Chains A and B, each alone.
Chain A
Amino acid sequence: MGNGLFGASLSGMSAAQFGLTTTEHNIANAGTLGYTRQIVDTASRNAQQTGAGFIGQGVNVTGVRRIYDQFLSTQLLQEQAQASYLTSYHTSLRQIDNLIADPAAGASPAMQQLFDAMNGVASNPESIPSRQAFISSAQYAVNRFQSIDQRFTEIADGINGQITSTVSAINSYAQQIAVLNGNIKRATASSSQGVLPNDMLDQRDQLISLLNNEVKATVLRQPDGTINLFIGTGQALVVDENVYGLQAVQSPSDSSKLEIAYNINGQLAPIQQSNLQGGTLGAYLVFRDQTLEPARNALGRVALGLADRMNQQNQMGLDLSGVMGGNLFTMGAPRVSPAAINTGGATITAGIVDVNALTTSDYQLRYDGATYSMLRLSDNMVTDLGIDPAALPAVDGFQVTLTTGALAAGDTFLIRPTANGASGIGLAISEPAKIAAAVPIRGAAALANIGTGRISSGTVNQPLPLNPDLQMPVRITFSDPAIVPQTYTVENVTDPFNPGFMDVQPYVAGQDITYNGWTVNITGTPATGDVFTVSPNTNATGDNRNALLLAGLQSQNTLSNGTATFQAAYGQLVGLIGTRTHEMDVTSLAQTNMVNETLKQQQGVSGVNLDEEAANLMRYQKAYQASAKAMQIASTLFDELLALGR
């Protein structure tokens, strides 16, 4: 009897002690990240069978269990990976959001200044200060494009750094998880059935959670207590105690970019980058490929468009010294990078042929052994380029040329037509006089004319190249208006007998008269023998016709197949980045709130509540005290028994 009493009390005290220890463990780890609260499981001992029935024998501690809900934990993991992805994407976007739309620092005010200055030149074409103002404004605009592009480059470099540190974090987590896998496996195997090393499990779960913040990983639980981790489309990161790490390597198609490769025992294997989703790493990759590079391309396209259109218009004019205008800006050439795995050894160059047709996408030139094709990466549209490498047709405003060697089947080239646009724009002139404000020709009526005919000053026909005879002096002489139809004769003034042309046309008032690359029109009724001339516009310091056209480029839809002005195309970029950032503002906040909700639920199950633990402390204390009291009573009873024998 005594034995039973003592035994039961002792088991009660021992169970209470376990309870107290576990409660203290819970209190101590209340702030530990990833900790799940533990409780002591007890069961009554098998009762002793007597003739009177079963008599209880006390309590057994059957285990210490962590309160863990696998469903909630898995959900939390996924949501955290997504939240971490959105937050990182959002942070990255914020970097360029303000940069491009800043009223002081964006490219838009700089372009406005440039055109304001060109208007100034149009108002005072002979004024050197006006022209100098244009040169300064153009320099400012060039600097703006370059410095925004420089900022993009800095951000891209920053992302390379982030990728490196993220990859090393992933490898480190994977390493620790593998170590814990081994420890857990051995601890589970060596202990009795169903007893788990709770704290190691917590630690591993916490590491998985941290890993998921970096990249989305799939967990596969094994019966021996270990877990296998997979990333991307099923690449193993951790299997049992083995780690297959990642490594940041230079992109085969663009040496300025770091990409992720899979490291199998020292052998590097490429991974499809778009498969690395979620987490910080996924955010950096997506941000770089879907926002940063397209933004750079869009900015480049505006710069290219501005430079090219102004260059062309300037070439159609005459500068202050009476010389045909040249380029105002230098332009960045398309970026071409051969794939690292190319075997043909061919060199490819690319050139812009029509800025209006340019898109903001990147392209891939492919060769399948027979035909060449161009893949537009933004929408995967393929254009067939035929089979002749010497005459590859232009696609979307640019053209590739095979300079040396030949392509082998399967060779590819990455072509980024506008990526260098903003970094490559420069000012080609420094002399104010080089702005071609005048038009190379002018129409004039002879003073001796008797009729009422008037001639326009004339315009140069688009597009370039200019007609070599543009400035050939030409005379237009009219016949008798009484003889219908009245006609006019066009002659070369300097050499009428060797004219290159001699033309007689019926006269229709106001109709365009086009020769040698110019167009004039004559209105009114010229009298017999009235003469009009189209001659080189010498000494035309006051002519602003070409400057007006240059200034007018501002409001012309010259980009995106004639749908956008320079500033509108830039505005689209600002709107795109703004909208995307705004979207991230909202979704990342929503995701964070969702994580908090799930975390609340998960913590509701697994988290430590200090009040509860305080109550448990009291509960186990009282239980201990009660068991001790029972033992005291047993002791007293035993004493009574001994006294009987005295």
Chain B
Amino acid sequence: MRISTNTMYDSNIAVMTQQQQRMLQLQQQVSTGRKFITPADDPVAAAQALSLSQSSAVNTQYSANRGAARHTMSLTESILQSATSVLQDVRETAIAAGNGALGVNDRQMIANALTGKLQALMGLANSTDGIGNFLFAGFQSKTQPFIDTPAGVAYAGDDGQRLIQVNASRQIPSSESGADIFMRVKNGNGTFAVQAGNVNTGLPNGGTGVATVGNVTNATLLTGNNYQVEFFDDGVGGLTYNVTDLATFTTPLGGSGPYVAGQAISFDGMQFSISGTPVAGDGFTVSPSSNESVFKTMSDMIASLNNPAPGFGGRLAYSINQIDRALDNVLTSRSSVGVRLNELDALDVSGEDLGVQYQQSLSALQDVDYAKVLSDLSQQQIYLQAAQKSFAKVMGMSLFDYL
């Protein structure tokens, strides 16, 4: 076949241009460390890399979110820990106050100590996160949640719980509602509460009768009604008790009998006992458990220490029980926070694993294999040199040289 001289030049130049392009591409890969310089070099990998780096960035963001959640929750945890120790102190103090040998001054000193503890607890409940946001105010983070009013401590926050997105599928609550911890302390045993009567309820309590918190023996029989237990003289030197259902004004089954200190009184699925020595006319109320704030419990306790009217023992026992329940509430919240902190740790581990996987996949997609590229580069160099040398040789041959 004939070959035109121009073709020899043109095709050699074309080949060398292509080889130089390939060299440039390899050189760019070496200098950028990326397999593809533009999406066109490998469109599938480029699109995958884009979506992977998004996933990776989102994963990193979740980790930052977990950090924010952990900060708030650790703070909450430590506040609740302090609240726990305050309440434990209160409990010990209250038990000490039950000592019959104490005089008026002693009780007042105890009352003063308890007032201090109440202030401390209020302070803890009104804790902020360090930049002025109240931890236990629900959504109203700039509003002081617990306010001392003449009618007792009121809650100005709400039930809002802040959720934080901690991974793709989980929103974790990072805050605790102050109402749940401090305000919603169920009185009695959580189902019903037996309280010594007082003048306000029309049941003066002149004796020393003290009721236990009781328990539920048969949940299906519970009525949710209010009752009152009254003591009567049986005419032979003893006492009888009689229970009245205040909704129906009847006496439920088992609701009357001779009083024996410490013996169980049970009716409508509930059971409790009264010990000590009530006097005729004394009474107790039995009502479904309602919410009583820990602050009210403490101020009631302080009030009765300052003014130990008859029935003091019964009221103190009731208060100690309330402090126990408040302690339960705090500990429940603490354990819930603790469990969530643990969950965060677990999510951190899986998030980091995921991050490493994303990085590995990304690296496999877009990072250059230097060993391969460098060897390709030197190979390409050899090809180009060979092309250049042979071109010069071939072009150096001409018949005109012999004319």
Binding site for B on A (CB under 8 A): 30-31, 93-94, 97-98, 100-101, 103, 108-109, 112, 115-116, 119-120, 122-127, 438, 442-445, 447-450, 455, 457, 480-482, 527-528, 537-545, 548, 551-552, 554-555, 567-568, 571-572, 574-575, 577-579, 581-582, 584-585, 589, 592, 596, 599-600, 603-612, 614-615, 617-618
Verify A539–B5 contact, CB threshold 8 A. Answer: no
Given A94-B40, A457-B139, A544-B162, 12 further pairs, Cβ under 8 A:
A122-B164, A123-B64, A126-B133, A442-B139, A444-B159, A457-B160, A482-B224, A541-B133, A572-B47, A575-B46, A596-B11, A603-B3
* A116 to B400 Cα, complex, angstroms: 74
Verify B6–A31 contact, CB threshold 8 A. Answer: yes
Closest to A543 in B: B139
Contacts of A552 in B (CB 8 A): 165
Known A-B contacts A442-B160, A574-B46, A607-B7; the reply to A542 vs B133 at CB < 8 A is: yes
Verify B58–A539 contact, CB threshold 8 A. Answer: no
Contacts of B399 in A (CB 8 A): 610-611, 614-615
Give the residue of A120, A571, A584, A604 whose beta carbon is less than 8 angstroms from that of B51.
A571
Verify B61–A116 contact, CB threshold 8 A. Answer: yes
- Give the contact stretch, choosing among B106-114, B140-148, B331-339, B376-384: B140-148
Q: B363: CB under 8 A from chain A?
A: no
* A545 to B140 Cα, complex, angstroms: 13
Binding site for A on B (CB under 8 A): 1-7, 10-11, 14, 18, 37-44, 46-47, 50-51, 53-54, 57-58, 61, 64-65, 68-69, 131, 133-134, 137-143, 155, 158-165, 168, 171, 175, 179, 183-184, 223-224, 288-291, 293, 398-400, 403
Name the residue in B3, B161, B288, B289 with the highest tally of chain A Cβ atoms < 10 Å from its Cβ: B3
Verify B179–A447 contact, CB threshold 8 A. Answer: yes
Contacts of B161 in A (CB 8 A): 457
* A112 to B179 Cα, complex, angstroms: 38
Known A-B contacts A123-B69, A457-B159, A608-B6; the reply to A101 vs B164 at CB < 8 A is: no
Verify B163–A545 contact, CB threshold 8 A. Answer: yes
Known A-B contacts A119-B165, A127-B131, A447-B155; the reply to A578 vs B43 at CB < 8 A is: yes
Contacts of A30 in B (CB 8 A): 5-6
* A544 to B165 Cα, complex, angstroms: 11
Verify A539–B42 contact, CB threshold 8 A. Answer: no
Closest to B161 in A: A457
Give the residue of A101, A116, A123 whose beta carbon is less than 8 angstroms from that of B68.
A123
Verify A97–B140 contact, CB threshold 8 A. Answer: no
Verify A614–B403 contact, CB threshold 8 A. Answer: yes
Verify B39–A541 contact, CB threshold 8 A. Answer: no
Known A-B contacts A94-B38, A457-B160; the reply to A567 vs B3 at CB < 8 A is: no
Contacts of B398 in A (CB 8 A): 610-611, 614
Tell me the minimal C-beta distance from A444 to chain B in angstroms. Answer: 5
* A581 to B42 Cα, complex, angstroms: 10
* Count of inter-chain pairs, beta carbons less than 8 A: 218
* A123 to B223 Cα, complex, angstroms: 45
Verify B162–A543 contact, CB threshold 8 A. Answer: yes
Verify A574–B140 contact, CB threshold 8 A. Answer: no
Closest to B288 in A: A450
Tell me the minimal C-beta distance from A604 to chain B in angstroms. Answer: 5
Known A-B contacts A122-B165, A457-B161; the reply to A542 vs B38 at CB < 8 A is: no
Q: Which 7 pairs, one residue from A and one from B, show the smallest C-beta to C-beta distance?
A: A607-B4, A542-B141, A578-B39, A581-B40, A578-B43, A123-B68, A543-B139
Known A-B contacts A97-B39, A542-B133, A599-B10; the reply to A455 vs B400 at CB < 8 A is: no
Give the residue of B50, B58, B134, B139 whose beta carbon is less than 8 angstroms from that of A540.
B139
Verify A544–B163 contact, CB threshold 8 A. Answer: yes
Verify A603–B50 contact, CB threshold 8 A. Answer: no
Known A-B contacts A442-B159, A444-B158, A540-B139; the reply to A610 vs B400 at CB < 8 A is: yes
Verify A537–B2 contact, CB threshold 8 A. Answer: no
Residue pairs across A and B with Cβ atoms less than 8 A apart, 13 shown, are A30-B5, A116-B61, A442-B139, A448-B291, A539-B143, A541-B142, A542-B140, A578-B38, A578-B47, A604-B2, A607-B4, A607-B7, A609-B2
Contacts of A450 in B (CB 8 A): 224, 288-291
* A617 to B161 Cα, complex, angstroms: 100
Contacts of A109 in B (CB 8 A): 57
* A156 to B30 Cα, complex, angstroms: 34
Name the residue in B14, B37, B134, B175 with the highest tally of chain A Cβ atoms < 10 Å from its Cβ: B14
Contacts of B143 in A (CB 8 A): 539
Known A-B contacts A122-B165, A555-B168, A615-B399; the reply to A610 vs B5 at CB < 8 A is: yes
Verify A123–B65 contact, CB threshold 8 A. Answer: yes
Closest to B287 in A: A450
Tell me the minimal C-beta distance from A140 to chain B in angstroms. Answer: 15
Give the residue of B58, B61, B68, B139 whose beta carbon is less than 8 angstroms from that of A542.
B139
* A94 to B68 Cα, complex, angstroms: 43
* A585 to B42 Cα, complex, angstroms: 11
Closest to A605 in B: B2
Give the residue of A122, A537, A579 whose beta carbon is less than 8 angstroms from that of B43.
A579
* A585 to B25 Cα, complex, angstroms: 13
Known A-B contacts A108-B54, A582-B43; the reply to A548 vs B6 at CB < 8 A is: no
Tell me the minimal C-beta distance from B218 to chain A in angstroms. Answer: 15
* A204 to B61 Cα, complex, angstroms: 67
Closest to A540 in B: B139
Tell me the minimal C-beta distance from A498 to chain B in angstroms. Answer: 27
Verify B4–A603 contact, CB threshold 8 A. Answer: yes
Closest to A567 in B: B54
* A263 to B171 Cα, complex, angstroms: 68
Contacts of B168 in A (CB 8 A): 555
Tell me the minimal C-beta distance from A549 to chain B in angstroms. Answer: 10
Verify A101–B5 contact, CB threshold 8 A. Answer: no
* A309 to B288 Cα, complex, angstroms: 49
Contacts of B158 in A (CB 8 A): 442, 444, 540
Contacts of B18 in A (CB 8 A): 589
Closest to B143 in A: A539
